[in-house]
Amino acid sequence: MEERGPHGASILVVEDEEPIRELVATALRFTGFTVGTAASGAEALAEARRGAHDLVVLDVNLPDLDGFAVCRKLRAGGDRVPVVFLTARDDPDDLRAGFTGGGDDYVTKPFSLEELLLRIQAVLRRSRARGQESEPSRLVCGDLVLDEDACQVWRGGAEVALSPTEFRLLRYLMLNRDRVVSKAQILDHVWDYAFAGDPAAVETYVSYLRRKLDDRDARLIRTVRGFGYALRTPDADPRRP
């Protein structure tokens, strides 16, 4: 049995293009991970089902089964190994299909090795945290329902289609309902890596959420000027900051 690296985690890299596969595998080994590789969906399923890996980096465009299908097969067999997709697709419908099929995160091509590493570390942290505490699969706030397992959201019984980032933002707000969270906290927990962009991105995504949740009057997602945002439950005191 191969000795594990200092991270104590083993990563399976699934990528049919050998230069990319070897580049990613070498970078992860250099960082301290134990790494296995596969070049097709069938190889990935066989390797993943051995249960020797803590996370799978999974290319979407594989020559036999696409990465989404591989992930669905793993989940159907009860395998909860975290999956980070590598994809050239950035259409929200494609990404939502990946998350609905059981993916944990995605990195779009072309990507930097630093970003990929940060995403992997963030997903591993979340996976370990889930192993230490039991979280409900559904979050409810009035007529707003978020199903973490199905990656679906409903308001007033009607399904609301969200992008992966919008979904993670809403989940974070619902986990902290009636509490004010700052833009810095949102960037840290929603983007989940060292986001170097403009914090105004948070304002943009809050605006997207309000529009999709029919919250244009900001009664659900409240702006607390100088502090951040708070998701307010229907029976919460409206005078609360």
Q: Which two tokens stand for residue 57?
A: 């980096």
For residue 91, what pLDDT is reported? Answer: 64
Q: Are 210 and 232 in contact (CB under 8 A)?
A: no
The CATH code of domain 10-132 reads 3.40.50.2300
For the segment 33-43, the average pLDDT, to the nearest whole number, is 94
Backbone angles phi, psi at 104, to 5 degrees: -105, -25
Residue 56's Cβ-count burial label (10 Å; 0-12, 13-18, 19+) is buried
Mean pLDDT value across the chain: 81
Please report which confidence band the pLDDT of residue 22 belongs to, taking 50, 70 and 90 as the band edges.
very high
**Other CB atoms within 10 Å distance of the CB of residue 88:** 12
Give the range among 10-24, 98-112, 163-177 with minimum mean pLDDT.
98-112
Domain with CATH 1.10.10.10 in the chain: 138-231
For residue 221, what pLDDT is reported? Answer: 93
Per-residue HEC secondary structure of 114-165 comes to HHHHHHHHHHHHHHHHHHHCCCCCEEEECCEEEECCCCEEEECCEEECCCHH
Domain with CATH 3.40.50.2300 in the chain: 10-132
Spatial neighbors of 235 by CB under 8 A, at least 6 apart, are none
- Rounded to the nearest 10 degrees, what angle do helices 67-76 and 92-100 cross at? 20
Please report which confidence band the pLDDT of residue 118 belongs to, taking 50, 70 and 90 as the band edges.
confident
Report the DSSP beta bridge partners of residue 144: 141, 155
Q: Are 40 and 63 in contact (CB under 8 A)?
A: yes
The CATH code of domain 138-231 reads 1.10.10.10
